[in-house]
Chains A and B, each alone.
Chain A
Amino acid sequence: MEKVRTNLMLCAGTGCVASGTAKVKDALQKELEKRGLEKEIKIVLTGCNGYCAEGPVMAVYPDEIFYQKLTVEDVPKLVEEHFLKGRPYQKLMFKEPEKKTAIPMMKEIPFFKHQVLRVLRNKGLIDPEKIEEYISRDGYQAAAKALTQMTQEDIIKVIKDSGLRGRGGAGFPTGLKWDFASKVKSDIKYMLCNGDEGDPGAFMDRSVMESDPHSVIEGMIIGAKAIEAHSGYIYVRAEYPLAVKRLHLAIDQATEAGLLGKNILDTGFDFELEIYLGAGAFVCGEETALMRSIEGKRGMPRPRPPFPAHKGLWDKPSVLNNVETLAQIAPIILNGSEWYRSLGTEKSTGTKVFALTGAVNNVGLVEVPMGIPLRTIIYDIGGGIRKGRKFKAVQLGGPSGGCIPEHLLHTPVTYEDIVATGAIVGSGGMVVMDENTCMVGTAKFFLEFTTDESCGKCPPCRVGTKILMDMLTDITEGRGKESDIETLEDLGRDIIATSLCGLGQTAPNPILTTIKYFRDEYESHIKHKWCKAGVCRELTTFLIDEKLCKGCGACLRACPSKAITGEKKMPHKIIQDLCVHCRTCYDACKFKSIKILPAKFQGDPAELEAVLEKSKREAE
């Protein structure tokens, strides 16, 4: 036997693979061999660490040193310095923006430091393609306990007492859902997992399936026992090839080890598990549509009741749970409901994983106790807004969610508190937007998605979202009318009230919340034909304020359409006929001398007030 003294946990999640894991691995292996270190230092490929933007990433144990942005060129020096001579290699370490000092230890890096890992407990610590590694982290112990020592009622009670709520969006209490299904009498029942993850920008579930597939399977075995199901499906979108591959491998290994299939762990309990590949339609994430899709029919929602607990897949009693919900089950069974409740609030217990993206310094997956303020996630973990810009809004819940403004950043992330703002926790998408974001455009972005994804069954959703979409397009292109805001709100509420499924019932949320908190932006688009953020091209005029311009030429060099003229050190000028309103110069100028003004604005920016007055009068 060889003694391995160091483990190099190299990330092989989708993000890092895309940025070069395979090449880095080969280079590392070669270099270790060259130095005669290949026996004492072992490379382990892990799933996603949630820090994909800085990939490929690698954690070194037992030193707990974290490296990011690895390149093949860096490998020889890294191996020589750290692995041979024991001097961790600064160049590849995390550095805080604007500071030069490197932070070597993973647990000291702010992005990781404030996280509490329960769902992501094995993230970066195991090779997800080896069942032994999962078992070494207490894997399948909870399934063993549930199958040998617990009755159905025991399991349901622990899950109920834990307060766990479904992480797929609606936040329905998991224990209660299991209870309903367990009480229905039927020879055949199904335990299902929702890995559809249709929310654009979300990747929590993909990450769990890639980095810890057995945690989902174990949760399903326990759920199956609780409701007495003997077969189940994991519904994953085919666009997640790595997750699909690892799930297949995990199911094969678990079956071989007698953890799935007939007579699991010699306890007499049977559970067969299969994967069903979805085609990636958002609506297929809705539970009744998902079940129809597995049946081979077109994925369209149907009215409830009957609820799936009574009539689900093939009209048999079924439970559908989200990936993240299922990944939490095993630790709750092992550690008890009190342990689970020790984090979070009374009604929103435990932890939640968010996909933090957008204008923050650190983007990635973050798992935090429920109930911490939004501000903590955005500033302490996310490291604040990029390039020192100002925060404008945070979008929670994806296309079904809403935008939360700065004065509500103290809001705790719980199901209740977030709903009170008009947004939803949803599946955990969290997009941070800075001052350069147009809120009307943001609403339009999400609405475009839901309009496309509406299955078309209900006219309010099919036609209504299209009308909303057309109105938003008009507003952003300068054809908005004063009455539009009210119409958007009325129609939005009607769609919510009359749609069959969650898609239609939530699609107007991005519009309603942006009107609620950023009404002035809608008004300025409509009345003044002015997109102050400079995003809607038709609603801007770019002008250089001659009093501020230093003549540095930065804008001139940046302009892609050669619309800027001027001598060095003399005020520059934009030739309006050539300007394509791309906003590049605005970002390029260090002296803030480029002004974003209403459409067709002429003259001195100082005369803005007068022009606005005039445009207002005209509108009236």
Chain B
Amino acid sequence: MPRLTVGDLQKIKEKHKAEFTLREGGYRAKVTVHMGTCGIAAGAREVMTALLDEIANAGIDDVIVTTSGCAGLCAREPLATVEIINAPPVKYCDLNAEKIKEIFREHIMAGNPVEKYALVVGCETMY
């Protein structure tokens, strides 16, 4: 590491923000990809990879991605839930790499849920 100045400290902090958002919390949006056996069979891994690539390319640090078990809706897998802080979660179904990319741009980045792929808004009515 080169010699630092006072200003560099803040820059280093910014650079590592994404990872510390994971550890400390304080994220803006969370995407949960459902990874039950059926989800994986239906292509949830590809959805996950596409989403992670998209986030990496956009260089943003306030969106986290997690997985969860089977959502009980095997016929509509792959499923993912997008939660933007202070907005109702939106569940998307029948996903593929292209769709999740669109959801990333429209919903996560621009804040407009993509209704054509949405299964339901809000989690309460789901199970």
Q: Is A420 engaged at the interface, CB distance under 8 Å to the other chain? A: no
Point out the residue from A63, A256, A265 that lies within 8 Å of B1, measured CB to CB.
Answer: A256
Q: Is B90 engaged at the interface, CB distance under 8 Å to the other chain? A: no
- Looking at chain B, what size class is its interface with the partner chain? 35 or more
A6 near B22 with CB under 8 A, answer: yes
B22 near A86 with CB under 8 A, answer: no
Of B65-73, B92-100, B114-122, the one with at least 4 CB within 8 A of chain A: B65-73
Given A86-B34, A257-B3: A136 touches B64 (CB 8 Å cut-off): no
B22 near A61 with CB under 8 A, answer: yes
Complex Cα spacing A413 to B37, Å? 52
Given A62-B27, A84-B35, A85-B69: A137 touches B3 (CB 8 Å cut-off): no
Q: Is A616 engaged at the interface, CB distance under 8 Å to the other chain? A: no
Q: Which residues of chain A are within 8 angstroms of B1 by Cβ–Cβ distance? A: 131-132, 253, 256-257
Point out the residue from A40, A61, A132, A267 that lies within 8 Å of B23, measured CB to CB.
Answer: A61
Q: Which residues of chain A are within 8 angstroms of B66 by Cβ–Cβ distance? A: 5-6, 62-63, 86
Q: Is A135 engaged at the interface, CB distance under 8 Å to the other chain? A: yes
Which residue of B is nearest A82, CB measured? Answer: B67
Q: Is A140 engaged at the interface, CB distance under 8 Å to the other chain? A: yes
Complex Cα spacing A135 to B32, Å? 30
Point out the residue from A4, A84, A253 that lies within 8 Å of B19, measured CB to CB.
Answer: A4
Q: Which residues of chain B are within 8 angstroms of A136 by Cβ–Cβ distance? A: 12-13, 15-17, 19-20
Which residue of A is nearest B1, CB measured? Answer: A257
Q: Is A435 engaged at the interface, CB distance under 8 Å to the other chain? A: no
Complex Cα spacing A42 to B19, Å? 10
Q: CB within 8 Å of B: which of A20-40?
A: 36, 40
The residue in B9, B40, B59 that gathers the most chain A C-beta atoms within 10 A of its C-beta is: B9
Given A86-B67, A132-B12, A135-B12: A265 touches B5 (CB 8 Å cut-off): yes
B23 near A125 with CB under 8 A, answer: yes
Q: Which residues of chain A are within 8 angstroms of B21 by Cβ–Cβ distance? A: 62
For chains A and B in complex, what number of residue pairs have CB atoms within 8 angstroms? 108
A259 near B27 with CB under 8 A, answer: no
Complex Cα spacing A329 to B33, Å? 43
A7 near B19 with CB under 8 A, answer: yes
Given A2-B56, A85-B37, A86-B67: A9 touches B12 (CB 8 Å cut-off): no
A62 near B67 with CB under 8 A, answer: no
Q: Is A330 engaged at the interface, CB distance under 8 Å to the other chain? A: no
- Tell me the minimal C-beta distance from A127 to chain B in angstroms: 10
Q: Is A587 engaged at the interface, CB distance under 8 Å to the other chain? A: no
Q: Which residues of chain B are within 8 angstroms of A97 by Cβ–Cβ distance? A: none
Q: CB within 8 Å of A: which of B25-41?
A: 25, 27, 30, 32-37, 40
Point out the residue from A85, A140, A259 that lies within 8 Å of B36, measured CB to CB.
Answer: A85
B53 near A135 with CB under 8 A, answer: no
Given A62-B27, A257-B1: A5 touches B64 (CB 8 Å cut-off): yes
- Tell me the minimal C-beta distance from A130 to chain B in angstroms: 10
B4 near A257 with CB under 8 A, answer: yes
Q: Is B6 engaged at the interface, CB distance under 8 Å to the other chain? A: yes
What 12 new A-B contacts, CB under 8 Å, besides A42-B19, A61-B22, A85-B37? A2-B52, A3-B53, A3-B55, A5-B22, A5-B65, A62-B66, A85-B40, A85-B69, A135-B16, A259-B4, A265-B5, A267-B6
Residues of chain B touching chain A, judged by Cβ–Cβ distance below 8 Å, are 1-6, 9, 12-13, 15-25, 27, 30, 32-37, 40, 45, 48-49, 52-53, 55-57, 59, 64-69
Cβ contacts A to B, 6 pairs, < 8 Å = A4-B18, A5-B64, A40-B48, A140-B9, A256-B1, A259-B4
